Structure 1
Amino acid sequence: MAHGDITHIDIPVSDLAKASEFYSGLFGWKIAEIEGFEGYPMWSAPNGISGGGLAPRGDGFTQPRSYVEVDSIDDTVAKAEAAGATVAMAKAPITDASWWAVIVDPDGNHIGLFEGSV
């Protein structure tokens, strides 16, 4: 993936098992927990490219969130803030080689940022 590609979509859910059954039955998504990410079932679409996770619904996470791959979260956040965005979640590690953050665009949309490799 390259800078600007959408890499992942998280869907907030109240019941992980029920949501897994719903989305796999509706769209044919393969949904499974991955070692190291227990409690966060990941989904992949039949095209083998699209994917994301089913994450617990909570305060500040009530709508699906797309994640965009960036070359540098730090640079992208600075550029976003200069253009009127705010930061909802500062850069945090996912693995030893990947990070994520969440910005809020001037219209109030939450956009996830991803840097690295999983």
Structure 2
Amino acid sequence: MAPTLGHGKICYLELPARDVAESAAFYARVFGWRSRTRGDGSTAFDDGVGQVSGTWTTRRAASADGPGMLLYVMVDDCAAAIEEVRAAGGEIVQEIGGDAPEITARFRDPAGNLLGLFEERG
């Protein structure tokens, strides 16, 4: 079954890890997440129902030491969503292009939480 795509869906997670293999084994055991190797050689995962995917990153500390887990919300148009974030009182902290070739941006909500926007290509 293909994932459900749509505006507002939580679609992609970046989870901080000390060791990617250790984290992959943990989430497989606890939640049944399936790991896979992406074209760039990094390890990605799909959640237990195949609706949310993500990757582990060693580039960020866990949330106790920084932004930690970064939640991305799927949007139909990333540029339009950036304008909506700004209009609603949010702050854009990473414009489109920071994760190229992916179409993403990052923002802080009014409370200061860091989240990402993700636009599916095509």
Shorter-normalised TM-score: what interval?
0.7 to 0.9
Identify which range, 56-65 or 108-117, moves more after superposition. Answer: 56-65
Answer yes or no: is 1:81 the counterpart of 2:83: no
Aligned to 2:96: 91
Separation in 1 of the partners of 2:66 and 2:57? Answer: 9
**Deviation for aligned residue 1:107:** 0.5
Aligned to 2:26: 22
Deviations 1:9-57 (A, max 9, x none): 2211121111111111211111122113x23x21112312222211224
Aligned to 1:32: 36
Structure (1 or 2) with the greater strand fraction: 1
TM superposition score normalised by structure 2: 0.80
Seen in structure 2, the aligned counterparts of structure 1 residues 48 and 113 have a Cα distance that, compared at 3 Å, is same
Q: Where in structure 1 are there 5+ consecutive unaligned residues?
A: none
What percent of counterpart residues are identical?
Answer: 26
Describe the SS at the equivalent of 2:50: coil
Aligned to 1:116: 120
Q: Where in structure 2 are there 5+ consecutive unaligned residues?
A: none
**Deviation for aligned residue 1:100:** 0.7
Aligned to 1:42: 44
Aligned to 1:11: 15
Matches within 5 A, 1:100-115: 100-115=104-119
Separation in 2 of the partners of 1:62 and 1:103? Answer: 12
Q: How many residues align?
A: 114
Alpha-carbon RMSD across the aligned residues, in angstroms, is: 2.1
Task: Give the letter for the 1:35 counterpart.
Answer: G
Separation in 2 of the partners of 1:2 and 1:19? Answer: 28
Matches within 5 A, 1:58-69: 58=60, 62-69=67-74
Structure 1 stretches of at least 4 aligned residues deviating more than 6 Å after TM superposition:
none
Q: 1:2 pairs with 3, 6, 15, which one?
A: 6
